[in-house]
């Protein structure tokens, strides 16, 4: 009986670990796409809105299912590109959760994200367009705020 329980338990743990690893890999792959489109090609947030929503939703699922935190990089990258009410709400939840983890750079990261959002809103109001059409380079925002955020 003990052996059957042990084997069954090992299978569940192995399946859970594989699922967790697969989801985390998916988060990183999708965040890489956002990074390439926005940082390298300077796409606007509206061009990557589906990726942003997907990564933020998957990050929340990861936290909910596995009761742990997700790496900050695949949260930061879509968070700075969030602009829809849904993606902003998810990003705020994730940033709040990240801050509660007690790691100092996550507070700095949140400051950068909020400044990107504020800059995007201001520019959209000035140009009288949708915030999703405004490219804001978060690296420039980091420099302006004199922040050096470690995104690990």
Specify if 21 maps to a domain: yes
Specify if 151 maps to a domain: no
What residues contact residue 47 under an 8 Å CB cut-off, 6+ apart?
37
Specify if 87 maps to a domain: yes
Specify if 122 maps to a domain: yes
Specify if 150 maps to a domain: no
What residues contact residue 93 under an 8 Å CB cut-off, 6+ apart?
60
The per-residue b/e assignment along 48-60, b for 16 or more CB within 10 angstroms, e otherwise, is bbebbbbbbebbb
What residues contact residue 59 under an 8 Å CB cut-off, 6+ apart?
27, 70, 74, 75, 90, 94
Specify if 86 maps to a domain: yes
| Chain segment 98-149, per-residue pLDDT in tens | 877 766 678 888 999 999 999 999 999 999 999 999 999 999 999 999 988 7
Number of domain units in the chain: 1
| Chain segment 20-63, per-residue pLDDT in tens | 788 888 899 999 999 999 999 999 999 999 999 999 999 998 88
Full residue range of the structural domain in which residue 70 is found: 2-145
What is the Cα–Cα distance from 100 to 107, expressed in whole angstroms? 9
Q: What is the DSSP string of 33-83?
A: HHHIIIIIS---GGGGHHHHHHHHHHHHHHHHHHSSPPPSHHHHHHHHH--
| Chain segment 60-98, per-residue pLDDT in tens | 988 887 777 778 889 999 999 999 999 999 999 999 888
Specify if 60 maps to a domain: yes
C-alpha R_g of the chain: 18
Specify if 152 maps to a domain: no
């Amino acid at each position: 009986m003990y052996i059957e329980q042990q084997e069954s338990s090992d299978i569940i743990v192995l399946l859970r670990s594989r699922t967790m690893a697969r989801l985390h890999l998916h988060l990183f792959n999708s965040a890489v796409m956002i990074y390439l489109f926005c940082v390298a090609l300077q796409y606007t947030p509206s061009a990557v809105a589906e990726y942003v929503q997907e990564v933020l939703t998957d990050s929340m699922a990861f936290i909910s299912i596995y009761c742990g935190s997700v790496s900050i990089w695949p949260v930061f990258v879509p968070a700075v590109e969030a602009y829809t009410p849904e993606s902003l709400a998810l990003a705020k939840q994730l940033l709040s959760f990240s801050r509660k983890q007690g790691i100092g750079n996550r507070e700095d990261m949140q400051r950068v994200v909020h400044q990107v959002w504020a800059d995007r809103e201001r520019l959209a109001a000035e140009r009288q367009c949708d915030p999703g059409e405004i490219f804001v380079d978060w690296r420039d925002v980091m420099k302006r705020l004199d922040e050096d955020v470690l995104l690990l």
